[in-house]
Chain A
Amino acid sequence: MTTAVGNSFIRPDAEPKVRGEAVYGVDFEIGGTLHAALVRSNVASGRIRSIDSDAASAMPGVRLVATAADAPKILSGLALNDQPLFASEVVRFEGEPIAAVVADTLVQARAAAAAVVVDIDPLPVVATVDDGVADGAPLVHEDWASYQVAPGHPDWPRYGNVCSEVVVDEAGVDEAFAAADVIVEDEFRADRQYQAYLEPKSATGMWESGRYTVHASHQYHWSIRNRTSAALGVKPSDVRVIGHYMGGGFGAKLDVGLEPYAALLARLTGFPVKMINERSEDMITCNSRDGGVIRVRSGLSKDGKIVAREYLVDMDAGAYAGDTVYLTSIPVYVADGPYATGPTRVRARAVYTNTTPTGAFRGVSGTYLYFALERHTDNLANAVGMDRRAFRLRNVLEDGHEMLNGQVLDDSGLLKEVFEAVDELAPWETLGKGPNQGVGIAATVWLTNPLPGSATLRLEPDGTLIVVTGAAEIGTGAVVLGVRQIAAQELGMDPANVTTTMPDTDVQGFDGGAQGSRTTHIVGRAVTEAAVGMRERVFQQAAKLLGAAPDELELRDDGVGVSGDPGRRVTLGEVAGAAMFDGGPITSSGSYGTPAIKYDPDRATGLLFSTFPTPTYHVHVAEVEVDPDTGGVTVLRYLVAQEVGKTISPAGLMGQIQGGVAQGLGYALWETIQIGDDGKYRQRTLESYRLPIALDVPRVEVVVLEHPVDTGPYGAKGAAEPPIVPVAAVIGNAIADATGGPITRIPITPEDVLDALKHEKGTR
């Protein structure tokens, strides 16, 4: 029999999706539903003088216009409680909710929302991180010092417009720079990137006798439960979140969006209330990937060793802190990244601006942090006249690398193998040799999100197994392929006989959400834990049926047989049926979260992500050709070598690599959100926000390395998030090679390419 783990099986959710039967968040609707739309600020910074809803209230179908006066007076947030549901005195970004209109239909609600007149006195705009940290900058939050951190967090360094600061300052940095033979200093900048999931954000709220129910299409249902309850001033268990099919999220649907509003409006009206963002509204108000400024300086010895490093990062938090207080930890893990660096100093700040709050997008800030690190690494190699790949291998990590948080990576020497593996796809020396062509290489060390999860297995008398888990299927296949195949393998079953559930926070145990490649690793491991108890019960029951001892039995082909006796076998269905009236239904639960990792808390200040769990290793190579007339870039070949621990579903893994690289190419070359001095987005629709299309994306060539990790199910580590992380770095390096000029910004526009071509070779 084909083993369930390590082979590709059809996704059970593919058929309802190709038939158009799958009900997504935007499709879900129950009887009596009203529809709501938000009234949002049309300026980035200002003081609200008045809100006039008379005309809107009189429009057809309108049931309610709600403002801050109708909501609990609570500030809440992911880690820092700095955000109200509705702005009441000041507005801090374009698109900030000021009021909500509920009507019989969505068309009526949107029309009435447009008729609410909000009078706002403009205030000075902090449009960029440079503005935010400038001397005498206006404060985005005048009351920042009074803000409380969310429960469970110690406070961290923050001041003025800096809502989070992380510092590492190893002994001897300045001395090491003073002793260096060569010093190279660079500055890089990155724009924001919109997740651009195809299904806009939506939510349906309900209220019944003091409890809220939210129907969501979301990555992290337990976070919605916590965040909605905090915003509405009730206990987490007073909110039930029920998941539906999700049309992509990529990080943007980890924190709450419309859910608390839909819940509040349901309570205020007494009816279910459904909300859907319009696309432009979704884009302008989305917690996009933060932009940032990175200043990196390194000292080198003449023989090409990195002997000192300083890595300074300012990231754009937008108007509310959100995820960015966590993201300021990431530079600590990227500042040295794949290479040994000597004494290192890191400072990372998240800066409030009068712009839409930023947040998580696959690979989070790592995409631009690695762009800066690996573009800088090319410049280091060039500064000492070394081949760029050879320079990397000279400095690449060995086993036992100690990270800047004091955590030791036992397996960091794997990186060298990954460098060798990618070279087997196409030798480095052979690439990028044609006219106007270039080649780039970059390595990445990335993590697997450690948040816990759980699963309950139910063996049914009809011979099927149900995996009851709160894990969200974001579309990657982590649940419907990964978790399901692991469950099948554990019980000796055909995956076709295993089903998985949709999240419901009243039903399943906590799940840390579809993020950071955690689902297959964490929930898969929870399934293997649950399977231990299930097998014990199955063998006990089967032993009675077969007249054998439990230790003589084995699982085979959806049944239990006596080892070495092919004729003596009962099906799992028969076992479950017999158990029903002999001890009750066969169920078994398991939980798992990554065990605590040893690190040194004295190495860094402000480090909310204190460790870098279950690391994985990656090397990407790209060959590009630039058009000297238009500045256009064609990606000729794209190579990926990725260490995954163990492949659970080859097809699922390939889908994540190809898709992650495609998103990375969009980020590197086309996608941008530019912000004007007025704090407003310049790209406001999918017409001006240029996403990759089929013609843009080459077929990615992949080599997978498998070094199983003890903690993962069958040795699997996280795999889905990291394929995006090095892409902008690789493309930037390849374009710099092709043009001979400096490439310092994401995205790399045709204008940047033409400018780079004007540089004399070797001056980059």
Chain B
Amino acid sequence: MNLSLTVNGAAVTVEADGADTLLMVLRDRLRLTGTKEGCTEGECGACTVLVDGVPVDSCILAAHSAAGSEVQTVEGLADRGGALSPIQQAFIDNFSVQCGFCTPGFLMTLTALIAEDPTPEEEWVKAAVSGNLCRCTGYTTIVDAVMAATGQEVAR
């Protein structure tokens, strides 16, 4: 069954089963492996992408429910080789990346957060990422990155 959607600004049509998830379409058909599969049960948030601007766990979203939608993945946050988005740059500058496997999911959730609230408070940032697990950092540097990316004072 054909599925048409927009991914990172480009219109694409792919073959997808009814049982296929959006994550399977992104990783296996479109080879966009920046989006990670951590649990396939919607718990870890590593697979977070934006569907029409809203962060979703793509591992439990039926691919066909994204038909006609604008999907943005981590690969779409910056042009290949081009300037990074402010939150991407802030993750680098604030040492918010360790193993990095959760990073794409965090970046997508936070991109949506910043679009909605350009100067989020620290507690609100923590609440916003409550669906994203990071096992390495203990989260503070991730919060710092949001503060830096939104021009707010970094607590440390």
Do A and B share a complex? Answer: yes
Residues of A within 8 A of B (CB): 8, 10-11, 13-15, 17-24, 26-27, 195-200, 245-248, 250, 278-280, 474-477, 651-652, 654-655, 658-663, 685-687, 691-695, 697, 699-700
B135→A250 contact, CB < 8 A: yes
- Which residues between 110 and 141 of chain B lie within 8 Å of chain A, taking CB atoms? 123, 125-127, 129-130, 132-141
Minimal beta-carbon separation of A663 from chain B (angstroms): 7
Q: A19-B34, A691-B133 are in contact. List 15 more A-B contacts (CB 8 A).
A: A20-B32, A20-B74, A24-B36, A26-B36, A197-B99, A199-B36, A247-B99, A248-B99, A475-B100, A476-B98, A655-B98, A658-B137, A659-B98, A685-B39, A692-B139
Known contacts A14-B92, A20-B75, A198-B133; decide if A474 and B99 are in contact (CB<8 Å): yes
Q: What are 26 residue pairs bridging A and B, where the CB atoms are less than 8 Å apart in the complex?
A: A8-B95, A10-B92, A14-B97, A18-B77, A195-B135, A199-B36, A199-B38, A247-B36, A279-B40, A280-B41, A651-B95, A654-B95, A655-B98, A658-B141, A659-B135, A660-B138, A685-B39, A686-B39, A687-B43, A691-B133, A691-B135, A693-B129, A694-B129, A697-B140, A699-B155, A700-B140
Residues 24-55 of chain B, each 1 if its beta carbon lies under 8 Å from chain A, else 0: 00000000111111111101101000000000
* Residues of B close to A659: CB separation below 8 A: 98, 135-138
A17→B103 contact, CB < 8 A: yes
Known contacts A19-B34, A19-B75, A685-B39; decide if A14 and B140 are in contact (CB<8 Å): no
B136→A475 contact, CB < 8 A: yes
A279→B100 contact, CB < 8 A: no
Interface of B (DSSP majority class): loop
A19→B88 contact, CB < 8 A: yes
* Residues of B close to A686: CB separation below 8 A: 39, 41, 43-44, 133
Q: How far apart are the CA atoms of A662 and B143 in the complex, in Å?
A: 14
A15→B92 contact, CB < 8 A: yes
B130→A694 contact, CB < 8 A: yes
A198→B102 contact, CB < 8 A: yes
* Residues of A close to B103: CB separation below 8 A: 17-18
* Residues of B close to A697: CB separation below 8 A: 138-140
Minimal beta-carbon separation of A639 from chain B (angstroms): 14
* Residues of A close to B130: CB separation below 8 A: 693-695
Residues 16-28 of chain B, each 1 if its beta carbon lies under 8 Å from chain A, else 0: 0000000000000
Among residues of A, the one whose C-beta sits closest to the C-beta of B144 is: A699
Q: How far apart are the CA atoms of A87 and B156 in the complex, in Å?
A: 53
Minimal beta-carbon separation of A450 from chain B (angstroms): 24
The reply on B84 being an interface residue by CB < 8 A is yes
* Residues of B close to A699: CB separation below 8 A: 140, 155-156
Minimal beta-carbon separation of B17 from chain A (angstroms): 9
A11→B99 contact, CB < 8 A: no
* Residues of B close to A26: CB separation below 8 A: 36-37
Q: How far apart are the CA atoms of A693 and B44 in the complex, in Å?
A: 10
Of B33, B100, B134, B140, the contact of A17 (CB 8 Å cutoff): B100
Among residues of A, the one whose C-beta sits closest to the C-beta of B17 is: A107
Q: How many A-B residue pairs have CB under 8 A?
A: 171
Known contacts A11-B92, A662-B138; decide if A27 and B33 are in contact (CB<8 Å): yes
* Residues of B close to A17: CB separation below 8 A: 97, 100, 103
* The 6 A-B residue pairs with the shortest CB-CB distance in the complex, in nearest-first order: A20-B34, A475-B99, A247-B101, A17-B100, A662-B138, A20-B74
Among residues of B, the one whose C-beta sits closest to the C-beta of A662 is: B138
Chain A CB within 10 A, most for which of B80, B123, B134, B143 = B134
Of A27, A475, A694, the contact of B98 (CB 8 Å cutoff): A475
Of A18, A24, A27, A663, the contact of B135 (CB 8 Å cutoff): A663
Q: How far apart are the CA atoms of A26 and B102 in the complex, in Å?
A: 13
Q: How far apart are the CA atoms of A661 and B33 in the complex, in Å?
A: 31
Q: How far apart are the CA atoms of A662 and B141 in the complex, in Å?
A: 13
* Residues of B close to A279: CB separation below 8 A: 38-41, 44
Among residues of B, the one whose C-beta sits closest to the C-beta of A248 is: B99
B125→A694 contact, CB < 8 A: yes
* Residues of B close to A475: CB separation below 8 A: 98-100, 136
A655→B136 contact, CB < 8 A: yes
A20→B97 contact, CB < 8 A: no
Q: How far apart are the CA atoms of A17 and B89 in the complex, in Å?
A: 11
Among residues of A, the one whose C-beta sits closest to the C-beta of B46 is: A198
Q: How far apart are the CA atoms of A279 and B37 in the complex, in Å?
A: 9
Residues 65-108 of chain B, each 1 if its beta carbon lies under 8 Å from chain A, else 0: 00000000111011010001000100111010111111110010
Q: How far apart are the CA atoms of A700 and B138 in the complex, in Å?
A: 9
Minimal beta-carbon separation of B55 from chain A (angstroms): 15
The reply on B142 being an interface residue by CB < 8 A is yes
* Residues of A close to B102: CB separation below 8 A: 198
Chain A CB within 10 A, most for which of B103, B107, B136, B155 = B136
Of A21, A198, A280, A685, the contact of B34 (CB 8 Å cutoff): A21
A198→B74 contact, CB < 8 A: no
Known contacts A14-B92, A18-B97, A655-B141; decide if A197 and B133 are in contact (CB<8 Å): no
B138→A245 contact, CB < 8 A: no
* Residues of B close to A476: CB separation below 8 A: 98, 136
